[in-house]
Amino acid sequence: MMKIDLHLHSSASDGSLAPRALLKKASEEGFSAVALADHDTLQGVGEAREAARELGLCFLPAVELSVGEELEIHLLGYGVDENAPALQGLLAEMLRDREERVRKMAQKLRDAGYPVDYERVRSMAGGAVGRPHLARALVEAGAAASVSECFQRWIGRDAPFYVPRKKVSTRQGIRAVLEAGGVPVLAHPGQLRLSQQALDAEIGAMQAEGLRGLECYHNAHDPATQDWLREACKRRGLLVTGGSDFHGAAKPKVQLGSGLERWRDAEECLDALLRAVGEAKRGR
């Protein structure tokens, strides 16, 4: 069976491995097809693609957009063209907002007496800076024992130094992916923590805007969630995808392939996704 993992993070966002080292690791562990899906950036794609070519891996460029107004929705865009102007514009806007937001959170922490320097935080990300980098800088400075402690005490959604991101609507994210010749897929739907009814309604609304698939297999999905999502794909004619959401040492419990053990038809699903990417390019 082909080993496939369609959701990896590199140091271009909050993963710990540089794109080349990440692809090398995937190859050494016997993966034959992977997708790089960094948060709100495509900066790792060039290096990853080149490494994949050298290693003989099938490589799909992707991005994981943080969108949604009330909900924190993660939207995967598979096979996007890195040079598409609408997507580039959106990513540039999101990067500015990320920098601004992390700078504000760092300032609030400093004002409260915590030893944190924005420039140090900024330098920890190759591209899309975020709260994980801020947390790592706090750990490095000895202010906290772990990244999760930082989220809990200071920068998690309900914590005192949290600054919300600028809202990008789900519709806008889907549009940008489609205009870039990509295939929009809802990442880890189980993490939205919605009832089945509410999740189904959200999927329906997104499908009406152009959503093409669901990430059924993911490290955070239990078998019941995987089965429900697969059934939803079948009922709605959506593509099935799977990815571990590997972040390297940043999330040590998640290995390459974690959560994909029950994805028995991964190869067929990948073929369908690749066909959809081809159609998205032609239909643009």
Which residue ranges make up the site for ligand AMP (CB under 6 A)?
Answer: 14, 39, 66, 130-132, 147-148, 151, 156
Nearer Cβ to Fe ion (73/233) = 73
Min separation Cβ 37 and Zn ion, Å: 6
Instruction: Tell whether residue 14 is a contact of Zn ion (CB under 5 A).
Output: no
Q: What is the nearest approach in angstroms of Fe ion to the Cβ of residue 188? A: 6
Q: How far apart are CA 144 and CA 141, in angstroms?
A: 8
Minimum gap (Å) between residue 283 Cβ and Fe ion: 27
Nearer to ligand AMP among residue 39 and residue 212 (C-beta)? 39
Q: Tell me whether residue 62 or residue 84 sits nearer to Zn ion (CB atom).
A: 62
Closest CB to ligand AMP belongs to which residue?
130
Among 62-70, 76-84, 193-201, 263-271, the segment contacting Zn ion (CB under 5 A): 62-70
Q: Is the Cβ–Cβ distance between 75 and 65 less than 8 Å?
A: yes
- Alpha helices in the chain, H assignment, sequence order: 19-28, 45-55, 85-111, 118-123, 131-140, 147-150, 170-179, 196-208, 223-236, 266-282
The nearest distance, CB 251 to ligand AMP, in angstroms, is: 7
Separation of CA 212 from chain center: 16
Identify the three-state secondary structure at position 205: helix
The secondary structure of the chain in percent helix, strand, coil, rounded to multiples of 5, reads 45, 15, 35
Q: CA 122, CA 134: separation in Å to the nearest integer?
A: 8
Question: Given the rule CB under 5 A, which residues bind Zn ion?
Answer: 64, 245
